[in-house]
Structure 1
Amino acid sequence: MATLIADFAWRYPAATWLVPDARRRRPVLQGCLKILIDHARRFGYVDVLDDHSAAAIWLDRTQPIPAPTDSARRLAQVCGDDTEAARLLLDITARCQPPIPHLQLVALATDDPDAAATLLAYRHSRLDRLGVASAAYASTQAQLGLLMDAGYQPTEPVWLPAGPPLWPTLRAAVTPGAATSTRRPAA
């Protein structure tokens, strides 16, 4: 799964900012994603389409969660010369978390609107039954569009130092039992 997501994300501007050396970018991203996936399996969710063409990683921010086990050492081991940039990225995204209980979408590996809609609808249906919000960062305009199509509202972009923007987004909690749409799926 880390390979699937890294193969997808390596071309994003934020990934280029994080690991400028294109030869090292995929392996560094894979290592970071392995840490993240391990953490999400303990404190969140990992959703994958049946054909393994797209994935979403979520962290449960409805309660405090610890940092990944031995995260400083593991991050330094994986990132090498790019460790400081990785720490800065984590710090920036942590400071911009909404102050409400939510699920945080930390990776959405697809550009396909149908795959994104399927992955997001699956997790949102569970969140809506519980009345829980969700938050995400978009790192491209295309990803921002996919999130907005799923009901996320963007705020002002956050700029990485001497780098690209990230768009924080929030999908408000739906009151359990409330109708979320009057549209019916096509037959």
Structure 2
Amino acid sequence: MGVAIRRAGEDDREAVTRLLDEAFQDDPVSGWVFPGAEYRRRTHPLLMEAFLDATLAEGYVDVTEDGSACALWLSVPAEAADAAHEEGEDEDVPAQVREAVDPDNERVELIGRLTAEIHPEGRAHEYLWMIAVAPGRQGEGLGTALVQHVLDRCDGEGLPAYLEASNERSRALYERLGFAFMGSTLDLPEGPSMWPMWREPRSESLRGEVGS
């Protein structure tokens, strides 16, 4: 698609945090976590920064060369659940994020717990945690290029991929990229729904059919 993509690093931290904040300010899930526009403008960037720092530490961030779009990915091993249990349950990441971001807001913690509960186990996969496109650049295919960049590698390595779509528009995009709804929504308490989606790796012949 002619979109230049590179791996982001610490030097990109401020710009990517700002991009995530701008892209998700009006997202239904962000609105549920931080109800009220003024409250969300003040606090939402702190959560985006926490998510980005976690991804830079444990996963990887792809960004378009012009900085207009980014994707946060985690490589989840097949034994992830067992490994986490063996390390002990005292490292309560959702609670730590809440404490760092907004201690009085239980939804900051709850979103982490609810998404962790529905995360598929047993197979290694790539997890698309978040993808953001600058509001003025949406509809140009940048998000598709970022996701396909990793899906091509998944197909080559025989890896599935997983994500939770936070709105109907993004769900439709992911379906075009080969993701399938897993059958049960995550319905946030008194809030919007999220769609867990899974993508099996495609064979080379199928990739050729899709691209033709």
Query: Which letter maps to 2:178?
Result: G
Deviations 1:18-43 (A, max 9, x none): 01031121343321222222221232
Give 2:195's match in structure 1, choosing from 167, 179, 186. Answer: 167
Q: Which consecutive unaligned segments of at least 5 residues does structure 2 have?
A: 1-15
Task: Quote the Cα distance in structure 2 between the aligned partners of 1:136 and 1:70.
Answer: 22
Task: Quote the Cα distance in structure 1 between the aligned partners of 2:44 and 2:126.
Answer: 22
Deviations 1:161-185 (A, max 9, x none): 111000111111345xx33422586
1:108 corresponds to = 131
| Superposition deviation, residue 109 in structure 1 | 0.9
Greater per-residue helix proportion: 2
Root mean square deviation of aligned Cα: 2.4
- C-alpha spacing 1:173/1:50, structure 2 compared with 1 (3 Å): same
1:98 and 2:120 correspond:
yes
Task: Quote the Cα distance in structure 2 between the aligned partners of 1:106 and 1:29.
Answer: 16
Task: Quote the Cα distance in structure 1 between the aligned partners of 2:43 and 2:128.
Answer: 20
Query: Bigger shift: 54-63 or 108-117?
Result: 108-117
2:59 corresponds to = 44
Query: Which letter maps to 1:168?
Result: P
Residues 132, 174 of structure 1: 8 Å contact kept: no
- C-alpha spacing 1:42/1:21, structure 2 compared with 1 (3 Å): same
1:56 and 2:83 correspond:
no
Task: Quote the Cα distance in structure 1 between the aligned partners of 2:193 and 2:45.
Answer: 22
Task: Quote the Cα distance in structure 2 between the aligned partners of 1:29 and 1:133.
Answer: 31
Structure 1 runs (4+) deviating above 3 angstroms are: 69-74, 183-186
Task: Quote the Cα distance in structure 1 between the aligned partners of 2:153 and 2:43.
Answer: 32
Task: Quote the Cα distance in structure 1 between the aligned partners of 2:193 and 2:73.
Answer: 21
Task: Quote the Cα distance in structure 2 between the aligned partners of 1:146 and 1:117.
Answer: 8
| Superposition deviation, residue 144 in structure 1 | 0.5
Q: Which consecutive unaligned segments of at least 5 residues does structure 1 have?
A: none
2:30 corresponds to = 15
Deviations 1:79-104 (A, max 9, x none): 2322x112111111111111222111
1:28 and 2:43 correspond:
yes
Q: Secondary structure at the match of 1:38?
A: helix
Give 2:207's match in structure 1, choosing from 171, 181, 187. Answer: 181
Task: Quote the Cα distance in structure 1 between the aligned partners of 2:201 and 2:170.
Answer: 21
1:121 and 2:137 correspond:
no
Residues 60, 104 of structure 1: 8 Å contact kept: yes
Deviations 1:72-126 (A, max 9, x none): 34432312322x1121111111111112221111111134361111101111112
Q: Secondary structure at the match of 2:208?
A: coil
Residues 25, 44 of structure 2: 8 Å contact kept: yes
Deviations 1:103-153 (A, max 9, x none): 111111134361111101111112222111111111111111111111110
TM-score (norm 2): 0.77
TM-score (norm 1): 0.86
